[in-house]
Structure 1
């Protein structure tokens, strides 16, 4: 696995399991992670082993978000049958998608800031696998999924559950408070085709697993999600799809939330108000 990331000061990085080097030490013509996304999708990113600099262990780096700015932020609701049952919702026959504003994004270590209790008294956190687009594309066949996707991220998504329960038309508001999307620090770029079906997604709070399921149990797999939405609109490098959660957990100030996506990565953040 290769990784695209940025330091807390915005310097682009390329990494592997041994460590990270400046992106320019491998790809001197690239000045940002965004510029590297098409090469990630094409499988033509260089190797850390060929860098003109020595790799630095991840533990010695302060990371920022992997992109200075993402593109469109899509979420997919009720994408595991078990989670739909938990919410007493019917299984959708098409992806139950919604969009979130860019202002929901916070850094890869949070914090998650809950809204005032006068606005919401029950917020839930959800671990999800996110897909990041690498190429401008339209009408993508599911079989071409790997040709247009740059890589994958673990993300923590949030919902003001009591707002949503008042009226399903309040979905956008319930998902759009500041800091209600925490992306992982490193975009995982597979070097070989990745068997997503075999991977698990876990929602953890304070070290306890609150929900877990395998991607194979999604109602709509990532390839179908990308293909479906590419028939609706042009997709562009940096667009992100949060593909749904195996289950949500109620969170309070002082909690520590963690999303674990097997073979992709983890992201965690403290909860404040």
Structure 2
């Protein structure tokens, strides 16, 4: 099942994508797709509905963030050994964790707005893991039982802020619009093996990233278990699990960074595609 939210900012509605790629309106069943909807009982109820009986949404629509009230967006750094190498960093012995501000979260095709004075903004295609059941000190063997589903995340990063401004990653990771998620939340039953998903990213039509989640240093199950030792994972929290090589920082002979007018496309096998246009700082694009 592919769950989603659609509509203008402040007017989002819950929906699902049917087998023919048609967006169906779930408003008669749910007021919105919130963290409270991610439990097994609600997901089973939604899965029992015949999509053909739901109203079809006509025309192109804005794809909104997949959950209305994402509580935490927790990211994992250097979780692909070849990406660590291109970044000039060691493969970590334990997962590297940082958070992205929830104010960074946007719909998958919303404008990406560079922060003022940005000179080193970068891209990262990542597998997002959406928590559906509270996880606290969970063993890896049971960790996937706490996952509602998966999504695409672009972990946009301002490298100067991240690496040259005091060594605190959050400053370069949590900028407004730097957390596109979606287009869909694909429920876990449709992703039997999250460790075998192809992923890719292009900028202006050039393929920069091609990878597969099988090369993660720490698996999804290991990450859910590990993070649950340090904080409670609640329904609606999202874990962004790291990126394969090919980021702008690692390009040779010189890094390549995002500029206004650039177009980013990225996707993960079975989880959909994102398309963003990069803009110079403009508060109206963020707030509107």
TM-score (norm 1): 0.89
1:71 lines up with 2:71 in the alignment: yes
Give me the whole-angstrom Cα distance separating, in 1, the residues matched to 2:12 and 2:86.
40
Matching of residue 14 in structure 1 with residue 16 in structure 2: yes
1:106 aligned counterpart, secondary structure: strand
Partner of 2:38: 37
CA RMSD of aligned residues (A): 2.1
For 2:26, the equivalent position in structure 1 comes to: 23
- Of 243, 247, 262, which aligns to 1:255? 262
Which range is displaced more, 130-139 or 88-97? 130-139
Runs of at least 5 residues in structure 1 that lack an aligned partner in the other structure = none
Structure richer in strand, relative to its length: 1
| Alpha-carbon distance in 2 for matches of 1:41, 1:48 | 11
- 1:55 CA displacement: 4.3
Please show how residues 130-145 of structure 1 align to structure 2 within 5 Å: 130-145=128-143
Query: For 1:258 and 1:141, how far apart are their aligned partners in 2?
Result: 35
Please name the residue that 2:154 is paired with: 156
Measure the CA separation in 2 of the matches of 1:178 and 1:3: 26
Q: Is the 8 A contact 1:41 1:146 kept in 2?
A: no
Counterparts in 2 of 1:165 and 1:198: CA distance versus 1, 3 Å: same
Say which SS state the counterpart of residue 37 (structure 2) adopts.
Answer: helix
Q: Which moved more, 1:44-53 or 1:145-154?
A: 44-53
Describe how 1:84-123 pairs up with structure 2 within 5 A.
84-117=84-117, 120-123=118-121
Secondary structure at 2:195 match in 1: helix
Aligned equivalent of 2:284 = none
Q: Distance in 1 between matches of 2:180 and 2:79?
A: 19
1:171-190 to 2 correspondences below 5 Å: 171-190=169-188
d(CA) in 2 for partners of 1:41, 1:143:
24
Deviations 1:192-241 (A, max 9, x none): 55112221121211122101111010001111111101111111111011
Q: Say whether the 8 Å CA contact 2:262–2:278 is kept in structure 1.
A: yes
CA spacing shift, 1:267–1:223, aligned 2, 3 Å? same
CA contact (8 A) 2:24 2:51 kept: no
Secondary structure of 1:224's counterpart equals helix
Stretches of structure 2 lacking an aligned partner (at least 5 in a row): 249-256, 281-288
SS at match of 1:196: coil
Q: Contact 2:197/2:269 (CA < 8 Å) preserved in 1?
A: yes
**Aligned 8 A contact 2:13 2:27 in 1:** no
Shift of 1:51: 5.9
Q: TM-score, normalised by structure 2?
A: 0.85
Greater Cα shift, 142-151 or 14-23: 14-23
8 Å CA contact 2:25, 2:55 repeated in 1: no
Counterpart contact for 2:26–2:54, Cα < 8 Å:
no
